[in-house]
Amino acid sequence: MGSTEFDVHDFMSECTVEILLETAMGVSKKTQKKSGFEYAAAVMKMCDILHMRHTHLWLKPDFIFNFTKYAKEQVGLLDLIHGLTNNVLAKKKEEYLKKKNQLNEMTEIPKISEEVTETQSTTEVEEVPYGNSFGQSAGLKDDLDVEDDGVGEKKRVAFLDLLIECSENGVVLSDEEVREQVDTIMFEGHDTTAAGSSFFLCLMGAHPEIQEKVVEELYSIFGDSDRPVTFQDTLQMKYMERCIMETLRMYPPVPIISRQLKENVKLVSKDLTLPVGATIVIATFKIHRNEETFPNPEVFNPDNFLPERSASRHYYAYVP
C-alpha cells in the first residue's frame, strides 16, 4: 500500500458490496456503470449524515435540515444508491420475462411418443432441453455444487431473482417494494459485514501468533492449491470460526440495539413491567464483556468459543 498503515475498512467495504451485488442482485461489477467502491462510498457518506443528525440536535427537524448542504448531498447519494438498484431491477425483470417466454414456447412443443418393440433391447431417450433456469442466466452456482459432468449440479438463485419471480407469480410485490427489500439487504449486509471483517483483519495483525494458527489451518485444507473455496471447506475452518466469533464478541458491528415496546412486557428476572412505548436499549458491547461469562474480557481469546465452553453459556450471553 506504500505505507506501514492503511484503513482496511475502505477495501472491505468495496469487497463486501461486490459480493452482495452477486448474492443479493445476481450481477457482477463488470455489468454495472457504478463500481462497488462508489456504491460503498455513497452508503458510508449516508451513514455519516445520519449520525450527524443524531448528534446535532438542530439538524433533526426536516424543515431545518432541508436548508443545509447536507440535504442536497443526501439527495444525490440516494439517487446513486437507488439508481443502481433500479437499473438492475429493470434488467433482471426483462431477463426473467424473456426466459419465461422461451420456456413457455418450448413446453408447447408436442411430445413425440416412441413405440418400443419387443426386439429392441434398449431405447435411448434424449431429454428436451428446456433452457436455463433464471438463476443460471446470471451464471450463478451454489457452493455445494458437485460438478461431475453436470450430474448433481445445483443452481443458486440470487435474492433479487427470487423476489422478481414471486412478484411475477401471484405474490403482490410492487417494484418499489422489491427495491426496498434489496436496498435493505445491500445496506445492512454491507455495513455490518464490512465492519466485522475489518475488525477481524485488524485483530489478526495485532496477534501474529493467532494469525499463524489460522494460516496453518487453511494450509491443511488447501495445501498449495488455489482452487475456489466450497461450503464444505468452511466446515473445516474450526479455529478461524472461533477467531471470527471472538472478534464479534469484542467488537460487535452493532454495539447497541434499541427497540420501542409495542405492548407492556413483564420481566421474568424481576417483578417489573416495562410500559408500552418505552425504548429498550440492549448494550451488546457491554454484554460481551461480562467477566462472569468471559474471563479476561479485554483479551482476545478464540478459546472462549471452544465447544465445551459455549455449551454451558447462557443463550443470550453472546448476541453479535
pLDDT digits (tens, 9 = 90+) for 94-135: 887 888 777 777 776 554 444 444 444 444 433 433 333 333
The per-residue b/e assignment along 198-221, b for 16 or more CB within 10 angstroms, e otherwise, is bbbbebbeebeebeebbeebbeee
Let me know if residue 72 belongs to a domain.
yes
Let me know if residue 216 belongs to a domain.
no
Question: What share of the chain has pLDDT > 70, as a percent?
Answer: 79
Mean pLDDT of 65-90: 88
Nearest CA to 42 out of 77, 86, 82 is that of 77
Report the alpha-carbon distance of residue 73 to residue 302 in Å, rounded.
42
DSSP reduced 3-state for 314 = coil
Please name the amino acid found at residue 191.
D
| pLDDT number for residue 73 | 95
Give the residues across from 148 on adjacent strands. 151
The C-alpha cell at 215 is: 494460516
Let me know if residue 36 belongs to a domain.
yes
Mean pLDDT of 142-155: 46
Let me know if residue 165 belongs to a domain.
yes
DSSP reduced 3-state for 241 = helix
Let me know if residue 1 belongs to a domain.
no
| pLDDT number for residue 115 | 46
Let me know if residue 110 belongs to a domain.
no
pLDDT band at 313 (very low <50, low <70, confident <90, very high): very high
Domain that holds residue 151: 8-103+131-206
The C-alpha cell at 213 is: 494458527
Instruction: Look at the block and give the residue holding cell 462510498.
Output: 41
pTM of the predicted model as reported, rounded to 2 decimal places: 0.72
Structural domain count, the chain: 1
pLDDT band at 30 (very low <50, low <70, confident <90, very high): low
Q: What are phi and psi of 283, to 5 degrees?
A: -85, 85
pLDDT band at 181 (very low <50, low <70, confident <90, very high): confident
Q: What is the DSSP string of 246-301?
A: HHHHHS-SS-EEEEE-SS-EE-SSSS-EEPTTPEEEEEHHHHTT-TTTSSSTTS--
Report the alpha-carbon distance of residue 316 to residue 294 in Å, rounded.
13
Between these two residues, 124 and 209, which has the higher pLDDT value? Answer: 209
Nearest CA to 158 out of 18, 20, 15, 315 is that of 20
Instruction: Look at the block and give the residue holding cell 466469533.
Output: 245
pLDDT band at 152 (very low <50, low <70, confident <90, very high): very low
Instruction: Look at the block and give the residue holding cell 472461533.
Output: 242
Task: Say if residues 161 and 96 touch (Cβ distance below 8 Å).
Answer: yes
Let me know if residue 15 belongs to a domain.
yes
Report the alpha-carbon distance of residue 149 to residue 261 in Å, rounded.
55
| pLDDT number for residue 126 | 39
| pLDDT number for residue 108 | 61
Of 4-13, 34-43, 141-150, 220-229, which range is least confident?
141-150
Q: Please give the DSSP secondary-structure letter assigned to residue 235.
A: T
Between these two residues, 101 and 149, which has the higher pLDDT value? Answer: 101
